[in-house]
Amino acid sequence: MPPADADLCLLSAVDVAAAIRARKVSPIEVFEAVATRIQALNPQLNAFCTLALDQAREAARGAEDALARNADLGPLHGVPVAVKDDLPVAGLLCTEGSRLYADRRASHDALAVARLRAAGAIVLGKTNLPEFGHKGTTDNLLFGVSRNPWNLQCTPGGSSGGSAAAVAAGLAYLALGTDIAGSVRIPAAYCGIVGHKPSLGRVPRVMPGITINLLDTTWVIGPMARTVQDAALMLRVLAGPDERDPFALPHLGKKDFDFSGELHGLRIAWSPSPTRGPVDPSAARAAEIAVQVLTAQGVQVEEMGARLDPPVNALRALFSAGAAGAFRDDFPQLCGQLSPTFAEFVSQGLTVTLDQCVAAQVAASAFIERMAAVFGRYDLLATPTTAVPAFSTDLAWGPDHVNGQAIDPQLGWFFTWPFNLTGHPAVSVPCGWSQDGMPYGLQLIGRRGADGLVLRAAAAIEAARPGPHRKLPAWTEQAALEMPRGEAG
């Protein structure tokens, strides 16, 4: 017998793909279970901003037909997935969370979406984000606030907050996110899932029909999943060269996805705060305990004494100036249509000079050299993903104090952004719980190109400290139970 709907929706992507291939459950059964759960839980979570359930149902029927024909099946055959609303999906809205693009429909799939489809995945719809992905929480004037399934009063993080909430709550097995300063890893940490920011170029950033800056080296496309194995499966589908992205890397080898390999002799640098900012002691302790479990496998973990001094003003200048560039001429006329925090962000960017942009690039280059020195001695760097657990959706940017110390509410409460400046791969893996029952994340960073090693170490931590090892709050299952059975539409 197939599992009950709730159990089926919370299976790993690896397991549900295997069950479909073994004909233990059909693509239609999987889709209908997930669609019913979306209809039950999405009104509270606001994870999806655009649904395409009719199209997805047709795709599921096509996947069932392919099984009946004994056709060649891709590794994600029949697996429902979600796509962040800054990545185009042909025929669907692609609003980027902005009222300026409220009616824009994509004419083509992003390459990442096309690769998921080619692997057999079924696209359920688009997930919410802050306007143009400009901050670490998820709300906008077009679709409203997204919420954390572990506590509806808390943010799921951002900017891929809708994707993280959908995966955590069982509304999708996998989701695509994008990451400029932590937008995959922050929401992964806050929702208790795995979020991988690949090495720059590992997943080509090709989006036909959408104007993008391919020379911006801070933003990447990455997988979001409930397990490391799921994230790795998704990365295998997404990765591979494409001439349209000048930074695109060659294919990963099979050994990069062999998680049975020895970790003995690996050297990991531990930093409770790579930015030297304040951190909640429980967040730091949860991450440190998680990374220390690897010592049982012969891994050396040492606290890093050297100062990294990542250039926060460099990221702020480059990111805000990039955002302002698209609105420089029309900002006075458009300002009233923008989210207040995005308007504030653009205003900051409009004051950045050319000299400051050049200085920011030089500062980022110096930081890359310092990170090269770290990876000359260590194989991985481990940090908490964030300085604090998930906080109230009422905060426009984020907290302005940690442990009684004032911080920058835009960038001071997470430790992800330095590694967007360098292009290193980084993953957030669940590592524990706050006193209030909110998930914590451990961030692992590796040398450029070492995505396989980063994921292998994360998998070892996950196996030793399985998380979130708690059931979702009662409201999720109650809402799912109350939803009428049958085709959700």
pLDDT in tens, 318-331: 999 999 988 888 89
Answer yes or no: are the C-beta atoms of 211 and 120 closer than 8 Å.
Answer: no
The CA distance from 148 to 168, in Å, is 9
Whether residue 3 is contained in a domain is answered as: no
pLDDT band at 316 (very low <50, low <70, confident <90, very high): very high
Model's pTM, two decimal places? 0.97
Active-site residue flag, 84: yes
pLDDT tens for each residue of 401-426 = 999 999 999 999 999 999 999 999 99
* Catalytic position from the list 183, 199, 320, 339: 183
What are the tokens at 234? 């998704």
Among candidate residues 184, 93, 78, the one with its CA nearest the CA of residue 441:
184
Active-site residue flag, 197: no
The CA distance from 189 to 372, in Å, is 26
Quick check: 3 pLDDT over 70? no
Whether residue 7 is contained in a domain is answered as: no
Whether residue 4 is contained in a domain is answered as: no
Active-site residue flag, 160: no
Q: Which residues pair with 197 in a beta bridge?
A: 426
Whether residue 63 is contained in a domain is answered as: yes
pLDDT tens for each residue of 455-483 = 999 999 999 987 666 789 889 988 888 87
pLDDT band at 2 (very low <50, low <70, confident <90, very high): low
- More confidently predicted of 483 and 1: 483
* Catalytic position from the list 84, 126, 135, 197: 84
pLDDT value at residue 90:
98
Q: What is the mean pLDDT of the chain?
A: 95
Domain that holds residue 92: 14-482
Whether residue 207 is contained in a domain is answered as: yes
DSSP 418: G
Classify 442 as helix, strand or coil: strand
Quick check: 1 pLDDT over 60? no
Q: What is the CATH number of the domain that holds 406?
A: 3.90.1300.10
The CA distance from 12 to 17, in Å, is 9
pLDDT tens for each residue of 143-195 = 999 999 999 999 999 999 999 999 999 999 999 999 999 999 999 999 999 99
Whether residue 225 is contained in a domain is answered as: yes
* Catalytic position from the list 26, 146, 159, 163: 159
- CA dist 293 → 194, 226, 271, 272 (Å): 18, 20, 16, 16
Domain count, the chain: 1
